[in-house]
Amino acid sequence: MGRRPSELQLQLFFLLSSIILRYRPDSVITLGDADVADAAGAMAATLEAAGNGVIAQLPGGNPVSEGLRRRIDEFLVELGKGSGSRFGREAAEVLRAVERGARHEAPGVGPEPQAYLALLARLLPPPAEESPARPNSPIILP
């Protein structure tokens, strides 16, 4: 996304970011920036290949990134139904930007293994159902 992002790209970025933040691997391993970069890169390559007429599904490099890639794929298939090739190109650009950020190639992303995920969490507040409940009254009863 070297040029100014389109409205669709901005919407995709925020939707994909929420998918990434909500993703919980099945294993005891936690999701890290490297997994996000791998999944975004694999999904972008799949979309780019499709844009060139090649049907290929490029997997993530490990079980955690592959699980996230599949979740992103399911989301994009559902969201992009009937959208045509423009949607795939726009989504691939957004995924490449996510990949660069998660690889810490973007300004403001530190070297920590979850710096990109922490940045996303600061940008996107948790959904209402995941936010901690606030008491209706400042008085706490036993």
Q: Is the pLDDT of residue 69 over 80?
A: yes
Residue 89 pLDDT: 93
Alpha-carbon distance of 83 to 27, in angstroms, equals 34
Assigned token pair, 28:
């005891």
Please check whether residue 138 lies inside any domain of the structure. Answer: no
Give the type of residue at 6. S
pLDDT (average), residues 50-55: 82
DSSP type of residue 129: G
User: Where in the sequence is the domain holding 38, given as residue range(s)?
Assistant: 7-124
Q: Is the pLDDT of residue 46 over 80?
A: yes
Q: How confident is the model at residue 42 (pLDDT cuts 50, 70, 90)?
A: very high
Decide: residue 42, CB within 10 A, 0-12 exposed, 13-18 middle, 19+ buried: buried
Please check whether residue 107 lies inside any domain of the structure. Answer: yes
Alpha-carbon distance of 59 to 65, in angstroms, equals 8
Residue 28 pLDDT: 77
Please check whether residue 142 lies inside any domain of the structure. Answer: no
Please check whether residue 84 lies inside any domain of the structure. Answer: yes
Q: How confident is the model at residue 52 (pLDDT cuts 50, 70, 90)?
A: confident
Assigned token pair, 111:
């070297």
Angle at 61 between CA 34 and CA 49, to 5 degrees: 105
Please check whether residue 136 lies inside any domain of the structure. Answer: no
Residue 11 pLDDT: 94
Please check whether residue 117 lies inside any domain of the structure. Answer: yes
Residue 75 pLDDT: 95
Number of compact structural domains in the chain: 1
pTM, two decimal places: 0.81
Q: Which residues fall within 8 angstroms of residue 115, CB to CB, at 6 or more apart?
A: 33, 104, 109
Please check whether residue 71 lies inside any domain of the structure. Answer: yes
Q: How confident is the model at residue 58 (pLDDT cuts 50, 70, 90)?
A: confident
Alpha-carbon distance of 17 to 33, in angstroms, equals 12
Residue 140 pLDDT: 55
